[in-house]
Amino acid sequence: MNNKNCPICSNKSQSEYAPFCSDKCANKDLGNWLSGRYYIPGEKINDETIYDSVDLSDILKKDH
Ligand SMILES: [Zn+2]
């Protein structure tokens, strides 16, 4: 379950930063994600399924 590798640099992932190996790689991935998308506060980005489950109207509702 925890033997995935970091999708950024292919090092062993750390559960603290899963699926990444460090906050550096997590941030790098988030940056890639932000470049084409929007940020969802409090959401954990664990896999690509979030791309399909995100709805902008839900985010706006949560804003207040
Ligand atoms: Zn990494």
- Going from N- to C-terminal start, the domains of the chain cover 15-62
Query: Residue 60 Cα, ligand 1 centroid: separation in angstroms?
Result: 32
* Residue 46 Cα to ligand 1 middle (Å): 14
CA 19 / ligand 1 centre spacing (Å): 9
How far, in Å, is the centroid of ligand 1 from the Cα of 5? 8
Confidence of residue 1 (pLDDT cuts 50, 70, 90): very low
Q: What is the pLDDT, as a whole number, of residue 30?
A: 83
Total Cβ atoms within 10 A of residue 62: 11
Dihedral, 54, 56, 57, 60 alpha carbons, nearest 10? 110
Q: How far apart are CA 30 and CA 55, in angstroms?
A: 18
- pLDDT for the residue 44: 62
Q: What is the per-residue pLDDT across 7-38, written as a single tens digit (0 to 9) for each?
A: 999 999 999 999 999 999 999 988 877 776 65
- Report d(CA 60, CA 42) in Å as an integer: 13
Distance 22 CA to ligand 1 centre (A): 6
